[in-house]
Structure 1
Amino acid sequence: MNNLAIQLEHVTKDYKGKKAVDDLSLNVESGTVLALLGPNGAGKTTTISMILGLQQPTSGKVKLLGEDPRDIKVRNRIGAMLQDVSVIDNLKVAETINLFRNYYSNPLSLEQLLHISGLESEKNKMAVSLSGGQQRRLGFALAAAGDPEIIFLDEPTVGMDITSRQLFWDTIRAMAGRGRTVVLTTHYLEEADNLADRIVVINNGKLVADGTPSEIKAGTTGRVISFTAGPSVTTETLQDVPGVANVEWSGRRVKLASSDTDRLIVALIERNIDMRDIEIQSGGLEDAFQALVQNTNELEGAV
C-alpha cells in the first residue's frame, strides 16, 4: 500500500441531491500514467478536485501519497494544471515561472521549465501577451515547477499546435521514465492511447472501465482481422463464416470485426479463404469509449 500514489475509497460527492461522483473506489500506483476519461459532466473534474483537496467528498476517503491531500507536505510534492490558466499581470514569463519555483523546496531550474514548455523564445514576454496555446504551455511549466512526484493535467494540450503537443508528449514520457505519476484528463483519445499505461473511464459519476489501452479496446470493440483478399472472395463469402460481425472493404483489403478473432482465423483457414498479409488488431480507443458510454447510458435509462 506504501506504493500507492492515490487512494479513493467509496468516494461520493453530492450536489443538491445529485451525485457528481457515485461510490468511486480507485487505487493508482506510483509511476503510473493514468488517463481519466469520460463525457462532459461525467465527474472527472470533481474527482480531480477531491484528489487535490480542493473539494471534500460527501462520503468516503481520499488519500494522496498516503496522506490528507490538504497537508502542506503533500502539496509540496504535487503539481496541477487545471482547465483555466490565469496569468499574473505585469510579470514576464520567466518571472512568473520563478515566482512559482519559489513555492517549492526542490524546484526544477528555470532553464528546464522553459525547455519542457517550449517557451525559451517567450521568456521575456509579458505573460498576459501569450496566445491561448502558449498560456497552456506556461500552465504546464507552473505545474511542473516543483519537480512533482504526481502531476495532474486537465485537458493540457487544448489550443496547442502539433509541435507543442509533441513536445508535451515527449516530456510526459520522460517524467514517467523517472517514476513520476501522471494523471491526465483529455478529450483527445489519441493522446490517451499514446501516453497512458492505464485508462479509467467514468460516466455519470461511476467507474465503468479500468485497464490498459489494449484491454479497454479489446474488451469493448472486439478485434479486427484485416487481409488482402483474393479475387474469389466476396462479401457474401465472408458473411457466411461463423464469427464475422462486420465486413469492410478498401480496394481488395478487407477488415472483419469479431468478438473472437482466434476462432475466426481458424474458420477462415478451414474454409480455404484466399487471403494474404494478415493482421489482427484491436478496435480504436474512440470506438471503445463511445461503446462504454452508450452502454452505461442505456443501463442507467433502463433502471
Structure 2
Amino acid sequence: MTGNDAVLAQLSDVRKRYGQVPALDGVDLELRPGEVLALLGANGAGKSTAIGLLLGLLAADSGSATLFGQPPQSLAARRRIGVMLQTSGLPDTNTVGELLELTRSYYPDPRSVADCVALAGLDGLLDRRYGRLSGGQQRRVQFALAVCGRPQLLFLDEPTTGLDIEARQGLWRAIRELVAQGSSVLLTTHYLEEAEALAERVVVLNRGRVVAAGPMAQMRAHVAQRRIRCVSTLDEQVVAGWPQVRSACRDGERLELVVDAAEPVVRRLLELDAGLHELEVQRAGLAEAFIELTQDAANAESATQQQEAA
C-alpha cells in the first residue's frame, strides 16, 4: 500500500466546536498499519472528540474524518474496527457469555469464545451477569467484546482505568499480542507509563490543537533533562546550587537530582564524594516531555494573546 491507501484512520484539518468552545481546532491525525498511536492530552484537550469523529459518533464542523478511506459511518469500515470506550452501556442482566456470543455474531470471522476469554482474562466469568461484576472485571469484558471480531483497527479509550496493576499488565500483554497479529491501535490514556509501554508514536493535544506529534523516542528527546540517583553523604542543599542542577533532594541515604547535563554533575559528585555508590543516570520520561510540551503550548498561546491585546 502507498499514499492514503496505507492510512487506516485520518482526521484532516478538523474543527469542532461546542457552542463557543473549540474542542478541535485544525487537527490532522493519521493512523497507519501495524502501529500503536497514543493520543495524549489533559481533560478537555479534545481526545474524546477526536475518537468520536473517527467512529462517526460526531460530525465535524469542517474538515474530514475517514476510516479505511471511507466515511466512518460505513458498515464496511465499522466491521473492521473494535471499540472500547470509557462508557459501555451494556445490559446488566446479560451474562458475560451471552454478551460475547451476541457481539461475535456481528462479525463474519470472529474469534472463538476461548480465545476471547484468554486474551481478556475472563476465566470463570462467562456465567456471571455483567451487572454483578466489579469495575475491573467489566473493563476486561469490554476489552473482550472489542477484540472478538478480529479488528484490523482497535480503538482503546482509557482501557485500563479501574484495573489493578496485575490486570493492567495482562491487558498490555494482550494488546502486544494483537499488534503482533496485525492489528493497529489508537490508544488514549491518562497513564503515561502505559503509552511508553505500548506506543511507537505519540500525538499530544492541548486545547484542541496538536502541540507535538512523532515517534515516542522523539517525544522523550524533547526534554534534555536527566535524573541522577546515588547514595552519597553530600549536602543536597549545596548540590542544588551547582551549575546544571535543577533540583536536589534526599530520600534517606539516596540523593536524587534533576539536571540539564548529566556528565559534569556526575564528575563533580565523584570528585567530592569518594564513597559515592549505586549511581544511576536516567533520561527524563514521557511524563516530563508531556508536561513541558503542554506548558510550551500554553505559554505560546498566552504570548500571542498578549500581542493581540497590545
Q: CA RMSD for the aligned pairs?
A: 2.5
Q: Is the 8 A contact 1:214 1:282 kept in 2?
A: no
Map residues 82-97 of structure 1 onto 2, 5 A cutoff: 82-88=85-91, 90-97=93-100
Note the alpha carbon deviations across 1:35-94, whole angstroms, 9 max, x for none. 211111111000001111221211112222233222211111101111111223543211
After superposition, the Cα gap between the structure-2 partners of 1:60 and 1:169, relative to the gap in structure 1 and judged at 3 Å, is same
Question: Aligned residue for 1:297?
Answer: 298
Note the alpha carbon deviations across 1:168-209, whole angstroms, 9 max, x for none. 111011112222111111222222222222222111001122
TM-score by length of 2: 0.86
Question: Aligned residue for 1:30?
Answer: 33
Q: What is the CA–CA distance in structure 2 between the aligned matches of 1:216 and 1:19, rounded to whole Å?
A: 25
Question: Aligned residue for 1:5?
Answer: 8
Question: Aligned residue for 1:106?
Answer: 109
Question: Aligned residue for 1:280?
Answer: 281
Question: Aligned residue for 2:257?
Answer: 256
State the Cα distance separating 1:301 from its structure 2 match. Answer: 3.4
Q: What is the CA–CA distance in structure 2 between the aligned matches of 1:95 and 1:239, rounded to whole Å?
A: 61
The question of 1:195 aligning with 2:198 is answered yes
SS in structure 2 of the partner of residue 290 of structure 1:
helix
Identity of aligned residues (%): 39
Q: Which runs of 5+ in 1 are unaligned?
A: none
Note the alpha carbon deviations across 1:123-154, whole angstroms, 9 max, x for none. 01222322222221111111111110111111
Which segment drifts farther, 41-50 or 111-120? 111-120
The question of 1:243 aligning with 2:241 is answered no
Q: What is the CA–CA distance in structure 1 between the aligned matches of 2:67 and 2:8, rounded to whole Å?
A: 6
Q: Which runs of 5+ in 2 are unaligned?
A: 306-310
TM-score by length of 1: 0.87
Question: Aligned residue for 1:49?
Answer: 52
Note the alpha carbon deviations across 1:255-286, whole angstroms, 9 max, x for none. 33233335655x648x9454554432122433
Q: What is the CA–CA distance in structure 1 between the aligned matches of 2:268 and 2:218, rounded to whole Å?
A: 25
Question: Aligned residue for 1:177?
Answer: 180
Q: Is the 8 A contact 1:189 1:286 kept in 2?
A: yes
Q: What is the CA–CA distance in structure 1 between the aligned matches of 2:291 and 2:118, rounded to whole Å?
A: 36
Aligned residues: 299
Q: What is the CA–CA distance in structure 1 between the aligned matches of 2:165 and 2:229, rounded to whole Å?
A: 30
Which segment drifts farther, 22-31 or 86-95? 86-95
State the Cα distance separating 1:29 from its structure 2 match. Answer: 2.1
Q: Is the 8 A contact 2:237 2:248 kept in 1?
A: no
